[in-house]
Amino acid sequence: MEKCFYCGNPIGEDERTCRFCGADQKAYRMIKASSEKEYNEGLVKARAHDLSGAIESLNRSVRYNKRNVKARDLLGLVYMKYGEPVLALREWVIAKNFDPEDELADRYLNSVSEDAGLFEKIDNAAKKFNTAYKYARAKAFDLATLELKAVVKENPGMVKARQLLALIYIQGGEYSKAYTELKAAQKVDESNPLTTRYMKETRSHLVSDKKKKKKERTERRSTIAINDGHDVVLMPRQTFIEAIDNSKSGLFNILIGIAIGILAFVFLVSPTMKQRENEETRKALITANSTSASSKSDVAELKKQVEELNTKLEKYEGQSDVKGSYEDLLKAQDQAGSEDSNDDASKTLSKANSSLLGKNGQKLYKTLTEQIDKQTLVTSYQEGETAFARRQYDDAIKALEKVVDIDDSYDNGEAMYKLAQAYENSGDKENALKYYQKVAKDYARYYRGRNSARKVTQLESQ
């Protein structure tokens, strides 16, 4: 039975005033109905992962009716998911005081008390976040980033820590890293207005950077740089037909002539020479075999001749790879023009034998290698960061190893530092220690170097 809000005596559901104290119950019932309405809205928002909206609705619910125990229980759960366990405990304790028989509050409080290290984690995370906030206010962004990474590692659901970390990345122009942190925050609270605002700004910069890179690639493909000894002149890149028809493209025609000469050698001269050498070798072998019984000295001399002829034969037979190496080189050049086929270009180029190429072929081989490595650095580093943020450490190791093998100083050592962290998180202590030691040595002045030195001490003592 319902009780009077003023005197606490029982009243009927149809009674508008208390028969004991005369208090009007209409306004009280309207307030309770408003509290229930806000509770229902908060429940819907919590199920839709709109935690900030749920917190706002549930706080209004308990403000209308402080004894609404089920609203406080749900508010505590939302706070816990939002990364605010202290506020969650407060709501459950208040609910328990209003209703000592509240089974939900009992269950939640017992689950927290059974986790012996939870309060220590809560305290450490709160202290680190406050320290990071002070560092950020003092513009010590490296130290703030280090503290915030530790916070989100201990408490992944702490939205405000990820927001502050993303803001620091935006300040430093590291928009891809900011985007990763904001996506993680959105998984916890999809409709958080601050996260949405930061995400909008980050996306605008990422789109702008993508357009700028696309424009630069287009300009590089449409122009060619010529160094005349004093200045570098940019000229429009000519097509094959334009280069042949243009009277000023003498150098290009010379290169075409060299290529035709190489192909003529491969297809016409080389087979004839190879056949001739094979015939000479066979004749020499027949002669050597027919005179082998003459004397021991003759046998030794013939063996020497056979070895020399076989060596010469192998030399000419090796020329058969020249054609295949040039074909792989040209195929890799076509594939390298597209980002999507960068891996295919790298595999094709690895098949080409650079020692069999001429001067111009080796020059093109070197240019393609540098171009493919440069693109591999960008794509593999992005893949490694994404996999690391998703805790897919095996994929992160695979991608970041490509980066470090090409350039172990990439992103000022950040790639090698992340590779060490990925090895540590995957349980590979030996490789983690190897890369932490190198980062600590090469980047001792930076936060990643100092942190790596601490990691080396920690891993060696285990």
| pLDDT at 397 (0 to 100) | 92
DSSP annotation of 338 reads: S
| pLDDT at 318 (0 to 100) | 47
Q: Pull the structure tokens for residue 373.
A: 């490595």
Q: Pull the structure tokens for residue 88.
A: 């969650």
Alpha carbons 131 and 288: distance in angstroms, whole number:
88
pLDDT one-digit tens code per residue, 149-167: 888 887 777 888 888 988 9
Higher pLDDT, 345 or 198: 198
Which residues does 15 contact at the CB level (< 8 Å), separation at least 6? Answer: 25
Average pLDDT, the chain: 78
Does pLDDT of 293 surpass 50?
no
| pLDDT at 279 (0 to 100) | 72
Mean pLDDT, to the nearest integer, of 75-104? Answer: 84
pLDDT one-digit tens code per residue, 315-340: 544 444 666 766 776 776 666 666 55
24 contacts 31 by C-beta, under 8 angstroms: no
Higher pLDDT, 286 or 174: 174
| pLDDT at 211 (0 to 100) | 83
Nearest to 360 by CA among 458, 255, 253, 207: 255
CA atoms within 13 A on the CB side of 430: 0
Q: How is 400-436 classified by DSSP, letter by letter?
A: HHHHHHH-TTGGGGHHHHHHHHHHHHHT-HHHHHHHH
Q: How is 147-185 classified by DSSP, letter by letter?
A: HHHHHHHH-TT-HHHHHHHHHHHHHTT-HHHHHHHHHHH
415 contacts 396 by C-beta, under 8 angstroms: no
| Inter-CA distances, 332 with 174, 199, 255, 367, 406, Å | 32, 38, 19, 11, 19
pLDDT one-digit tens code per residue, 113-130: 776 566 667 667 778 888
Type and span of the H or E element at 181: helix 175-188
Which residues does 314 contact at the CB level (< 8 Å), separation at least 6? Answer: none
20 contacts 4 by C-beta, under 8 angstroms: yes
Q: Which residue has the tokens 């190496």?
A: 325
User: Of 24-28, 240-244, 402-406, which one has max mean pLDDT?
Assistant: 402-406
Q: Pull the structure tokens for residue 221.
A: 């493909």
Alpha-carbon dihedral angle through residues 117, 122, 126, 131, given to the nearest 10 degrees: 20
**What is the pTM assigned to this prediction?**
0.38
Mean pLDDT, to the nearest integer, of 26-54? Answer: 85
Residue 21: pLDDT band with limits 50, 70, 90:
confident
Number of H helices, E strands in the chain: 21, 2
pLDDT one-digit tens code per residue, 233-288: 555 655 545 545 555 556 667 777 787 878 766 676 667 776 777 677 666 666 65
- Beta-bridged to residue 224, according to DSSP, are 235
| pLDDT at 40 (0 to 100) | 92
| pLDDT at 349 (0 to 100) | 72
Does pLDDT of 302 surpass 60?
yes
Mapping DSSP to helix (H, G, I), strand (E, B) and coil, where does residue 102 land?
Answer: coil
Alpha carbons 314 and 398: distance in angstroms, whole number:
39
CA Rg, the chain, in Å? 37
Q: How is 296-314 classified by DSSP, letter by letter?
A: HHHHHHHHHHHHHHHHHHH
| pLDDT at 394 (0 to 100) | 93
| pLDDT at 220 (0 to 100) | 66
| pLDDT at 187 (0 to 100) | 82
| Inter-CA distances, 65 with 29, 72, 75, 98, Å | 10, 10, 14, 11
